[in-house]
Structure 1
Amino acid sequence: MSGTADPPLLPLPDRVVGLLSELGSPPRLAAHLRAVHDVAHQLVVWVERHCPGVLLDREAVLFGAATHDVGKTVHVSELSGPGAAHEEAGQALLLAHGVGPELARFAATHAAWARSDVGVEDLLVSLADKIWKNKRVPELEDLVVARLAGATGRAVWEEFMALDEVLTRIGDRADERLAFQASFPIHA
């Protein structure tokens, strides 16, 4: 969760490491959360540099990315197969372990990015959860582009081109992140 990694990935926040340990997180889940957390960090840094006028809670995005699938500690089958039961379960787990609702929400919103009430932080967590493995979701990317264009006043096509460039760069390292995650067992 926090040791050296190949590829180099940021360690998970200490609070998240403690929570995952307490919950008996499967090693593969911790590896996945670390990869998504690292990608979220890259996205946040890019947004802060490219669109300094965008108001965003950096720590919320990073915490959300580091915990978005925590419900898979309960629904382990969803680590290797489809399912959405982990979303509500994850939010409930986080709340039960003293995480405030403003941070616990990411466990539920990371797959509900099309809702009208999600913020830019939620969109970035959702985007990180896709692009870590180089999955492009045009509808999600369009929502991010619209938020950026609205905040910067730049043309939508300009924001699209800029976002596409950074997502391509991040996505180019997906095979390394996928191999990292796959090197960990699903069960402890």
Structure 2
Amino acid sequence: MNTRDKIILLGDNLIRKRGYNAFSFSDISKELNIKNASIHYYFPTKTALVIAIIQKHLILLEKFKEKVSEKDSVQKIIKFLSVYSITKSEGRISILGSLSNDYFTFTAEVQTELKILTNNTLNWLTDTLKEGRQQGFFHYDMEDRKKALIIITNILGAEQLSRVTDNYDFHKIKEAIINDLIK
């Protein structure tokens, strides 16, 4: 892994463990044993770094969509929610959960990138729910996008709240989301 990729990976981990406003280039330089100037060579600003991190997550989302494309809708949702479970088990929260908290502190450029990632996630979730409902797997009485918004806000909220309550609460909420869809 090259230095640029290491910086992105560490910045991503710091955002998802501490939050965007709770880390600095100094934290990265200490961890990687490099000078701040080395980070600035690749990312002149923290804004440039967070944009690269969001773009990495856009690529990861596309890979995820490809990986689950042949699965049925129930399996797609289970895999989708499992991504959040894995992140949670590693002591982090999702990039959407972390960055949405700091949305109003970002430049317009970062806000735009975050909106793209959020919309791509919501559009995939909406399409998957619609597909599952048409196939008779999912049962709910509202618009597909509204259900997608409810699911994503529940899982993002569960990430945050379970930091304070019991981590098992996160898993209870995840199971409730799935059970609610297939009731």
State the TM-score, normalized to the length of structure 1: 0.28
Q: Which has the larger radius of gyration?
A: 2
Higher helix share: 2
